[in-house]
Amino acid sequence: MKVTILGAAGFLGRKLAARLAQSGRLGGNDVAALTLFDAAMPASLPDAPFPVRCLQGDIGDPAAALPPGTDVVFHLAAVVSAQAEADYALGLRVNLHGALAVAEACRHLAEAGAKAPRVVFTSSVATFSGGQDAQLADDARQLPANSYGAQKAAAELLLADASRRGFLDLVSLRLPTVIIRPGRPNRAASSFFSAILREPLLGLPADLPVGDDFAAWVASPRRVVDWLVHAAALNTEGLGIDRGVNPPGLSVTVAHMLQALDGARPGAAALVRHAPDPDVAAIVGTWPAAFEPFRARTLGFSAHEPLADLVAAFIADDLDATRAERGVS
């Protein structure tokens, strides 16, 4: 099985690649080759039990990352929410036109006689609206209230049409906000959800732009990687033309997050400072706070672990590496 990860230099791409290297398998099949592709050169996997190619390039031209015989493509490359809102042209080029370029590369493979590759596309909770009072069912209408969500929703539709035409075999995962992100803050509007846990665990202060009662639909990196792997091997015959899946995340308030933080490191929550930011609140405040992901459960996507386990997983998996990267003693 030949696998490609687009956006492989990002933290989810790195974790997914490490999972494949550790198991050597995907969906019950041996991984024969892995291509890692991103705008920045991805790190290699010297201990992987299969050949690994690392490519640096533009997501607008991903053909080199999809060699003949590609079986699975994980399309994780994106410009995140606040950055896409601030730079409309960049968001459009990466989030929408990048997805169209992936569809075109898959079409060329299919028209050359190859089997249509499975494409696992990371969409987002930001493709929906509803805000704090929402608990959305699987058939809820996607009505994004920001450019990032609109670009992801448009990409979903066009990739689904390419799937209907037989150029690729799509599963779109509308990911919750992923916490706790290792490393440094990024330009996502939701970055503070990770920061208010990660920074105090490093002994650093963190700003909180919303109130303690603000609720969010979240997921851990461990669980997201599980979902990506499951989506790659999913039998899609029963999905029909609806290739979007709302995975079973976790609805939590900021207060619950700070309680979990203090449970892991007593007193750490005192490092979180209230610093209202209307621009951030205007973006994340439109996102639904909860879903009822019945379809995902019937498709076998694993349920989410408790919030305390999510914090413990970051401490076990990423805290030391983040401390070293940030130069924090």
Q: Report the catalytic residues.
A: 148
Q: Are 144 and 153 in contact (CB under 8 A)?
A: yes
The 8-class DSSP code of residue 49 comes to S
31: three-class secondary structure by DSSP: coil
The beta strands (E) that lie in 167-315 are given as 169-175, 177-178, 206-208, 215-219, 244-245, 250-253, 272-274, 290-291
Bridge partners, residue 207, by sequence: 273
Query: Edge-to-edge, what's the strand order for the sheet holding 118-124?
Result: 52-56, 33-38, 2-6, 70-75, 118-124, 169-175, 244-245
3-class DSSP state of 66: coil
What CA–CA distance (Å, rounded) separates 33 from 1? 7
The closest alpha carbon to 146, from 276, 286, 245, belongs to 286
**Helix segments in 24-171, DSSP class H:** 81-86, 88-91, 98-111, 147-164
Name the phi and psi angles at 191, rounded to 5.
Answer: -60, -30
Q: How far apart are CA 284 and CA 282, in angstroms?
A: 6
